[in-house]
Amino acid sequence: MSKKEQQSTSVPTQFDYDAIVIGTGPGGEGAAMSLTKQGLNVAVVERHSDVGGGCTHWGTIPSKALRHSVERLIEFNNSPLFSSRRETLHLKFRDILAHAQGVVGKQIRMRHGFYERNGVRIIHGEAQFVDGHAIDVKRSDGTTDRITAKQFVLATGSRPYRPADIDFEHPRVYDSDSILNMKHDPRSIIIYGAGVIGCEYASIFRGLNVKVDLINSRDALLSFLDAEISDALSYHLRNNGAIIRHCEEYESVTGDETGVVVKLKSGKRMRADCFLFANGRTGNTDTLNLDTVGVAANSRGQVKVNEHYCTEVNNIYAVGDVIGYPSLASAAYDQGRIAADAMVLGSCETKLIADIPTGIYTIPEISSVGKTEQELTELKVPYEVGRAQFKHLARAQISEQPVGTLKILFHRDTKEILGIHCFGERAAEIVHIGQAIMEQNGSGNNIEYFVHTTFNYPTMAEAYRVAALNGLNRLF
Q: Which of 255-259, 345-349, 427-431 has the highest mean pLDDT?
A: 427-431
pLDDT in tens, 182-207: 988 999 999 999 999 999 999 999 99
Are the C-beta atoms of 278 and 201 separated by less than 8 Å?
yes
> Mean pLDDT, to the nearest integer, of 9-23?
82
pLDDT in tens, 71-117: 988 888 887 777 666 677 788 888 888 888 899 999 999 999 999 99
Reported as a pLDDT band with limits 50, 70 and 90, residue 1 is very low
The confidence score (pLDDT) of residue 358 equals: 95
How far CA 401 is from CA of 33, 342, 398, in Å, comes to 39, 46, 8
Reported as a pLDDT band with limits 50, 70 and 90, residue 444 is confident
Binding residues are 46-55, 64, 156-158, 193-200, 280, 321
Binding residues for FAD are 46-55, 64, 156-158, 321
Are the C-beta atoms of 431 and 411 separated by less than 8 Å?
no
> Mean pLDDT, to the nearest integer, of 227-251?
97
The confidence score (pLDDT) of residue 3 equals: 43
How far CA 29 is from CA of 42, 122, 310, 313, 347, in Å, comes to 11, 11, 17, 22, 20
pLDDT in tens, 300-331: 999 999 999 999 999 999 999 999 999 999 99
The confidence score (pLDDT) of residue 169 equals: 96
Its sign, for the CA torsion 180, 431, 459, 80, is positive
Domain boundaries, the chain: 3-160+282-345, 173-279, 364-472
> Mean pLDDT, to the nearest integer, of 60-74?
91
- Judged against a pLDDT cut of 50, whether residue 8 lies above it is answered with no
The confidence score (pLDDT) of residue 84 equals: 64
10 compared with 462, residue with greater pLDDT: 462
pLDDT in tens, 19-59: 999 999 999 999 999 999 999 999 999 999 999 999 999 99
Percent of the chain at pLDDT exceeding 90:
85
User: Comparing 84-88, 238-242, 264-268, 344-348, which segment has the lowest mean pLDDT?
Assistant: 84-88
93-117 vs 26-37: helix crossing angle, rounded to 10: 20
> Mean pLDDT, to the nearest integer, of 348-377?
95
pLDDT in tens, 164-182: 999 999 999 999 999 999 9
Same fold, 3-160+282-345 and 364-472: no
The confidence score (pLDDT) of residue 9 equals: 42
The backbone torsions φ and ψ at residue 219, rounded to the nearest 5 degrees and listed phi first, read -100, 0
Secondary structure of the chain as H, E, C letters? CCHHHHHHHCCCCCCCEEEEEECCCHHHHHHHHHHHHCCCCEEEEECCCCCCHHHHHCCHHHHHHHHHHHHHHHHHHHCHHHCCCCCCCCCCHHHHHHHHHHHHHHHHHHHHHHHHHCCCEEEECEEEEEECCEEEEECCCCCEEEEEEEEEEECCCEEECCCCCCCCCCCCEEECCHHHHCCCCCCEEEEECCCHHHHHHHHHHHHCCCEEEEECCCCCCCCCCCHHHHHHHHHHHHHCCCEEECCCCEEEEEECCCCEEEEECCCCEEEECEEEECCCEEECCCCCCHHHHCCCECCCCCECCCCCCECCCCCEEECHHHHCCCCCHHHHHHHHHHHHHHHHHCCCCCCCCCCCCEEECCCCCEEEEECCHHHHHHCCCCEEEEEEEHHHCHHHHHCCCCCEEEEEEEECCCCCEEEEEEEECCHHHHHHHHHHHHCCCHHHCCCCHHHHCCCCCCCCCCHHHHHHHHHHCCCC
The residue length of the chain stands at: 476
Reported as a pLDDT band with limits 50, 70 and 90, residue 354 is confident
The confidence score (pLDDT) of residue 86 equals: 60
Binding residues for NAD(+) are 193-200, 280
> Mean pLDDT, to the nearest integer, of 386-404?
95
Domain at 3-160+282-345: CATH code: 3.50.50.60
The confidence score (pLDDT) of residue 439 equals: 92
Q: For residues 20 and 122, give the distance between their C-alpha atoms in angstroms, rounded to a whole number.
A: 10
Domain at 173-279: CATH code: 3.50.50.60
Note the pTM of the prediction, 2 decimals: 0.92
**Residues 6 or more apart whose Cβ sits within 8 Å of residue 438:** 355, 369, 370, 417, 420, 445
Are the C-beta atoms of 255 and 170 separated by less than 8 Å?
yes
How far CA 55 is from CA of 123, 159, 355, in Å, comes to 19, 10, 22
The confidence score (pLDDT) of residue 83 equals: 64
Are the C-beta atoms of 354 and 439 separated by less than 8 Å?
no
Domain 364-472 is in which class? alpha beta
Phi-psi region of 142 (alpha: psi -120 to 50; beta: other; left: phi over 0): left
Mean pLDDT of the chain: 93
